[in-house]
Protein backbone atom coordinates (compact mmCIF):
# COMPACT_ATOMS: atom_id res chain seq x y z
CA UNK A 1 0.00 0.00 0.00
CA UNK A 2 2.86 2.36 0.79
CA UNK A 3 4.26 1.87 -2.70
CA UNK A 4 0.92 2.74 -4.29
CA UNK A 5 0.56 5.92 -2.24
CA UNK A 6 4.17 6.89 -2.97
CA UNK A 7 3.44 6.61 -6.70
CA UNK A 8 0.96 9.49 -6.40
CA UNK A 9 3.73 11.97 -5.52
CA UNK A 10 4.31 13.22 -9.11
CA UNK A 11 0.55 13.57 -9.69
CA UNK A 12 0.22 15.63 -6.51
CA UNK A 13 3.30 17.67 -7.45
CA UNK A 14 1.80 18.42 -10.87
CA UNK A 15 -1.64 19.34 -9.52
CA UNK A 16 -0.35 21.56 -6.71
CA UNK A 17 2.09 23.26 -9.08
CA UNK A 18 -0.63 24.07 -11.61
CA UNK A 19 -3.21 25.18 -9.03
CA UNK A 20 -1.08 27.20 -6.61
CA UNK A 21 2.37 27.91 -8.06
CA UNK A 22 1.67 28.96 -11.63
CA UNK A 23 3.31 25.90 -13.18
CA UNK A 24 2.39 25.56 -16.83
CA UNK A 25 -0.16 22.83 -17.45
CA UNK A 26 1.92 20.90 -19.96
CA UNK A 27 0.08 18.04 -21.60
CA UNK A 28 3.25 16.01 -22.11
CA UNK A 29 4.12 16.04 -18.40
CA UNK A 30 0.61 14.94 -17.44
CA UNK A 31 0.67 12.10 -20.00
CA UNK A 32 4.14 11.02 -18.91
CA UNK A 33 3.08 11.02 -15.27
CA UNK A 34 0.02 8.87 -15.99
CA UNK A 35 2.04 6.37 -18.05
CA UNK A 36 4.64 6.05 -15.28
CA UNK A 37 1.85 5.71 -12.71
CA UNK A 38 0.39 2.80 -14.69
CA UNK A 39 3.85 1.22 -14.71
CA UNK A 40 4.21 1.62 -10.95
CA UNK A 41 0.80 0.04 -10.38
CA UNK A 42 1.79 -2.83 -12.67
CA UNK A 43 4.88 -3.54 -10.57
CA UNK A 44 3.04 -3.24 -7.26
CA UNK A 45 -0.45 -4.65 -7.84
CA UNK A 46 0.18 -7.49 -10.30
CA UNK A 47 2.52 -9.41 -8.03
CA UNK A 48 1.24 -12.95 -7.29
CA UNK A 49 0.75 -12.28 -3.57
CA UNK A 50 -0.08 -8.58 -3.76
CA UNK A 51 -2.48 -7.36 -1.08
CA UNK A 52 -3.96 -3.96 -0.29
CA UNK A 53 -4.68 -3.36 3.36
CA UNK A 54 -5.53 -0.02 4.88
CA UNK A 55 -7.76 1.43 7.55
CA UNK A 56 -9.61 4.70 7.15
CA UNK A 57 -7.72 7.19 9.30
CA UNK A 58 -4.31 5.64 8.63
CA UNK A 59 -5.00 5.74 4.90
CA UNK A 60 -5.84 9.46 5.06
CA UNK A 61 -2.64 10.15 7.01
CA UNK A 62 -0.63 8.15 4.46
CA UNK A 63 -2.12 10.12 1.56
CA UNK A 64 -0.93 13.32 3.22
CA UNK A 65 2.62 12.22 2.33
CA UNK A 66 2.44 12.70 -1.48
CA UNK A 67 0.50 15.93 -0.99
CA UNK A 68 3.18 17.32 1.31
CA UNK A 69 5.95 16.12 -1.02
CA UNK A 70 4.19 17.95 -3.85
CA UNK A 71 3.92 21.12 -1.77
CA UNK A 72 7.55 20.76 -0.70
CA UNK A 73 8.87 20.35 -4.24
CA UNK A 74 6.94 23.30 -5.64
CA UNK A 75 7.88 25.54 -2.70
CA UNK A 76 11.58 24.75 -3.10
CA UNK A 77 11.45 25.32 -6.85
CA UNK A 78 9.52 28.60 -6.80
CA UNK A 79 10.39 30.23 -3.47
CA UNK A 80 13.71 28.90 -2.15
CA UNK A 81 16.02 29.05 -5.14
CA UNK A 82 18.53 31.22 -3.27
CA UNK A 83 19.15 28.56 -0.60
CA UNK A 84 21.42 25.67 -1.51
CA UNK A 85 20.14 22.12 -1.28
CA UNK A 86 22.69 21.31 1.44
CA UNK A 87 21.69 24.31 3.55
CA UNK A 88 18.01 23.49 3.10
CA UNK A 89 18.51 19.89 4.20
CA UNK A 90 20.59 20.99 7.21
CA UNK A 91 17.87 23.41 8.34
CA UNK A 92 15.19 20.77 7.80
CA UNK A 93 16.91 18.17 9.99
CA UNK A 94 17.83 20.79 12.59
CA UNK A 95 14.20 21.79 13.12
CA UNK A 96 13.16 18.14 13.00
CA UNK A 97 15.64 17.33 15.77
CA UNK A 98 14.03 19.94 18.04
CA UNK A 99 11.10 17.61 18.61
CA UNK A 100 12.61 14.24 17.65
CA UNK A 101 15.35 14.31 20.31
CA UNK A 102 13.01 15.12 23.24
CA UNK A 103 10.54 12.56 21.89
CA UNK A 104 13.28 9.92 21.76
CA UNK A 105 14.18 10.60 25.40
CA UNK A 106 10.52 10.47 26.37
CA UNK A 107 9.71 7.15 24.68
CA UNK A 108 12.96 5.45 25.72
CA UNK A 109 14.56 5.18 22.28
CA UNK A 110 17.92 6.57 23.44
CA UNK A 111 18.09 4.03 26.23
CA UNK A 112 17.90 1.27 23.62
CA UNK A 113 21.03 2.41 21.72
CA UNK A 114 23.61 0.50 23.85
CA UNK A 115 21.54 -2.67 23.51
CA UNK A 116 21.21 -2.17 19.76
CA UNK A 117 24.98 -1.66 19.37
CA UNK A 118 25.79 -4.81 21.33
CA UNK A 119 23.22 -6.97 19.53
CA UNK A 120 24.89 -7.02 16.11
CA UNK A 121 25.03 -5.14 12.83
CA UNK A 122 21.42 -3.93 12.80
CA UNK A 123 22.32 -0.64 14.49
CA UNK A 124 25.03 0.15 11.95
CA UNK A 125 22.68 -0.70 9.10
CA UNK A 126 20.19 1.72 10.64
CA UNK A 127 22.83 4.45 10.81
CA UNK A 128 23.79 3.84 7.17
CA UNK A 129 20.13 3.98 6.16
CA UNK A 130 19.54 7.23 8.03
CA UNK A 131 22.65 8.91 6.60
CA UNK A 132 22.51 7.64 3.02
CA UNK A 133 18.82 6.88 2.60
CA UNK A 134 17.53 9.99 4.36
CA UNK A 135 20.01 12.84 4.80
CA UNK A 136 22.12 12.40 1.66
CA UNK A 137 19.13 11.39 -0.47
CA UNK A 138 17.13 14.43 0.69
CA UNK A 139 20.05 16.78 0.00
CA UNK A 140 20.44 15.38 -3.52
CA UNK A 141 16.67 15.63 -4.08
CA UNK A 142 16.64 19.29 -3.01
CA UNK A 143 19.57 20.05 -5.31
CA UNK A 144 17.84 18.21 -8.17
CA UNK A 145 14.63 20.21 -7.73
CA UNK A 146 16.56 23.47 -8.05
CA UNK A 147 18.32 22.39 -11.24
CA UNK A 148 15.52 20.71 -13.24
CA UNK A 149 11.75 20.91 -13.66
CA UNK A 150 9.99 20.01 -10.42
CA UNK A 151 8.02 17.28 -12.22
CA UNK A 152 11.18 15.49 -13.33
CA UNK A 153 12.56 15.66 -9.80
CA UNK A 154 9.32 14.24 -8.38
CA UNK A 155 9.34 11.44 -10.95
CA UNK A 156 12.34 9.87 -9.22
CA UNK A 157 9.78 8.26 -6.90
CA UNK A 158 8.89 6.01 -9.82
CA UNK A 159 12.44 4.67 -9.82
CA UNK A 160 12.07 3.23 -6.32
CA UNK A 161 10.11 0.14 -7.42
CA UNK A 162 12.62 -0.30 -10.26
CA UNK A 163 15.50 -0.39 -7.78
CA UNK A 164 13.59 -2.94 -5.71
CA UNK A 165 12.93 -4.93 -8.88
CA UNK A 166 16.60 -5.14 -9.86
CA UNK A 167 17.75 -5.88 -6.31
CA UNK A 168 15.24 -8.73 -6.21
CA UNK A 169 16.42 -9.98 -9.60
CA UNK A 170 20.05 -10.15 -8.48
CA UNK A 171 18.84 -11.84 -5.30
CA UNK A 172 17.29 -14.64 -7.34
CA UNK A 173 13.71 -13.46 -7.91
CA UNK A 174 12.21 -14.08 -11.34
CA UNK A 175 10.91 -11.26 -13.52
CA UNK A 176 7.32 -11.61 -14.73
CA UNK A 177 5.56 -10.02 -17.70
CA UNK A 178 4.05 -7.43 -15.35
CA UNK A 179 7.58 -6.44 -14.27
CA UNK A 180 8.68 -5.93 -17.87
CA UNK A 181 5.53 -3.94 -18.73
CA UNK A 182 5.91 -1.84 -15.58
CA UNK A 183 9.58 -1.20 -16.32
CA UNK A 184 8.83 -0.04 -19.87
CA UNK A 185 5.93 2.19 -18.76
CA UNK A 186 7.92 3.86 -15.98
CA UNK A 187 10.96 4.56 -18.16
CA UNK A 188 8.74 5.82 -21.00
CA UNK A 189 6.83 8.09 -18.63
CA UNK A 190 9.99 9.53 -17.09
CA UNK A 191 11.46 10.17 -20.55
CA UNK A 192 8.26 12.00 -21.60
CA UNK A 193 8.22 14.04 -18.37
CA UNK A 194 11.81 15.11 -19.05
CA UNK A 195 10.87 16.25 -22.55
CA UNK A 196 13.03 13.73 -24.42
CA UNK A 197 9.88 12.54 -26.21
CA UNK A 198 7.54 15.26 -27.43
CA UNK A 199 3.76 14.85 -27.31
CA UNK A 200 2.00 16.74 -30.06
CA UNK A 201 -1.04 18.77 -29.05
CA UNK A 202 -3.01 17.70 -32.09
CA UNK A 203 -4.08 21.27 -32.94
CA UNK A 204 -4.10 22.20 -36.62
CA UNK A 205 -1.30 24.47 -37.73
Residue 203 falls inside a structural domain: no
Q: What is the pTM of this model?
A: 0.75
Distance CA 10, CA 149 (A): 12
Question: According to the model, what pLDDT value does residue 205 have?
Answer: 43
Residue 205 falls inside a structural domain: no
Distance CA 77, CA 72 (A): 9
Residue 79 falls inside a structural domain: yes
Residue 201 falls inside a structural domain: no
Question: According to the model, what pLDDT value does residue 48 have?
Answer: 64
Question: According to the model, what pLDDT value does residue 75 have?
Answer: 93
Question: According to the model, what pLDDT value does residue 56 have?
Answer: 59
Question: According to the model, what pLDDT value does residue 90 have?
Answer: 92
Residue 155 falls inside a structural domain: yes
Distance CA 138, CA 141 (A): 5
Residue 116 near residue 122 (C-beta atoms within 8 A): yes
Residue 2 near residue 62 (C-beta atoms within 8 A): yes
Residue 28 falls inside a structural domain: yes
Q: How many domains does the chain have?
A: 1
Parent domain of 127:
2-193
Question: According to the model, what pLDDT value does residue 1 have?
Answer: 58
Residue 42 falls inside a structural domain: yes
Question: According to the model, what pLDDT value does residue 37 have?
Answer: 87
Residue 22 falls inside a structural domain: yes
Residues of the chain with confidence (pLDDT) below 70: 1-4, 47-57, 59, 196-205
Amino acid sequence: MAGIINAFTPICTFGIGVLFFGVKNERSKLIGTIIALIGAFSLILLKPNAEIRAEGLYLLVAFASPLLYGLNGNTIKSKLGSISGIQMTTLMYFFMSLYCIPLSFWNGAFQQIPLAISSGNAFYHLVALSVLGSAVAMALFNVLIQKVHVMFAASVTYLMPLVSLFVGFFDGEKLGINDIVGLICILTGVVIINGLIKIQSGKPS
